[in-house]
Structure 1
């Protein structure tokens, strides 16, 4: 066999090996509760962020909030992994100081209020392993009712007096969490 034929055969076999390996990769389907990020300032052109929250967005799909985030129980504040909040400067939640850094944000839903919890644990799936002893701050905030129903759990930051507000909404439930400087 000629040398050029052997080289061509080896090259072809190597190419087939690589292409079959690439075709064998399995990629997951789109998550049913996609991950999202909200930051303040909201403008993507402004890199001087104060805070950012990363969370998954569960959908009602005919269910009630109480089925997905039961009243009186610690909730991961979203779906899948517990939501994480990053502060790029020291802030306060109520009277509690929260140093710049990344934390898990949990909530305890109630009919008239939600208790918002900032916790030191990170990379936590759900709220199954929540440890109260790792809480940094807690604040109870009132529930208000929105005029429109939100199918997907949503969070957005807005400017507030002396800080920022983390607004959460789902169905007609709305809460506003004040973080001050």
Structure 2
């Protein structure tokens, strides 16, 4: 009897791990949050600021000095701590901050707030917040504003490399500046892109040359890159840019020839107004104005 049942028992025991692996995944409902999650993002140059938070509502309650006590660390929202992501290194409130995602906290006061970027981004509320993990603290003065039932964040561009991040709730607003070194960031992007660009593709070399011409920088590199673009392929775009680069270099015969080439290539391919504007510009250039 024992010899008959032993193989059966062994077979059953080896089947157990497989059965456990076939167990279906747990079934769970998605939580219904009374403070809905939100993400606000804004591009600044080729950089981006992103604020992820949850929106609590006033619901007739006293917010400042009540629901949100003065002098205590607040998650700057509801549920998980608010986070701020910077795609590139920036100046936040005038101080250097590396690219990355940070927990954003505040210590509200009746007249002055302390704002905080914490190196630990993923936290539930401020329960595990540790001051020793702060990257940056700075002071901000709240301002009165129109009533907002739900907490809100705005990221408003203030220039080609700067923005204001604003927290607003109930009748208060608190804001701070973020500044990117857009020129340095874009130049690093340009150089990195050209390292990967094939000589047979006219577009990236044209783009780099056009950027330099528009910014009034690196004229020798602009000429080398636009000539590389022209060698790779013909387009009214790269011929127009070549014309402008040669004009800046006071190479007027070359500039006139390139602008005429751009006009010829644009006919039937570009909007009529584009061609007409180039023709008017050519006439002005020929007139020496």
TM-score (norm 2): 0.50
Shift of 1:28: 3.4
2:91 corresponds to:
92
1:135 shift after superposition = 0.9
The aligned length equals 155
Whether 2:130 is the aligned partner of 1:128: answer no
CA distance in 1, matches of 2:68, 2:176: 18
Q: Is the 8 A contact 1:145 1:172 kept in 2?
A: yes
Unpaired runs of at least 5, structure 1: 1-20
Q: For the aligned residues, what is the CA RMSD?
A: 2.2
State whether residues 165 and 177 of structure 1, in contact with CA within 8 Å, keep that contact through their aligned partners in structure 2: yes
Q: Secondary structure at the match of 2:168?
A: strand
* Displacement of 1:113: 2.2
2:39 aligns with 37
Alpha-carbon distance, 1:50 to partner: 1.7
Higher strand share: 1
Greater CA radius of gyration, 1 or 2? 2
Residues 78, 51 of structure 1: alpha-carbon distance in 2 compared, 3 angstrom cutoff: same
Cα displacement string for residues 80-135 of structure 1 (whole angstroms, at most 9, x for unaligned residues)? 00001100011122342110011100011111222110010121011111111111
Maintained 8 Å contact 1:73/1:109? yes
Q: Displacement, 1:143?
A: 0.7
The answer to whether the 8 A contact 1:39-1:49 is kept is no
Q: What's the offset of the Cα at 1:68?
A: 2.4
Task: Tell me by how many angstroms 1:175 deviates.
Answer: 1.0
Report 1:98-177 matches (<5 A): 98-146=97-145, 148-160=146-158, 163-177=162-176
Structure showing greater relative contact order (alpha-carbon pairs closer than 8 Å, 6 or more residues apart): 1
Higher relative helix content: 2
Unaligned runs of 5+ in 2: 1-23, 181-289
| In structure 1, C-alpha distance between the alignment counterparts of 2:84 and 2:92, rounded to whole Å | 13
Give the aligned partner of residue 15 of structure 1.
Answer: none
2-side partners of 1:92 and 1:116: how far apart? 14
Deviation of 1:41 (Å): 2.9
Residue 29 of structure 1, CA deviation: 5.0
**Preserved CA contact (<8 Å) 1:71 1:111:** yes
With the length of structure 1 as denominator, give the TM-score of the two structures: 0.78
Distance 1:176 1:41 in 2: 18
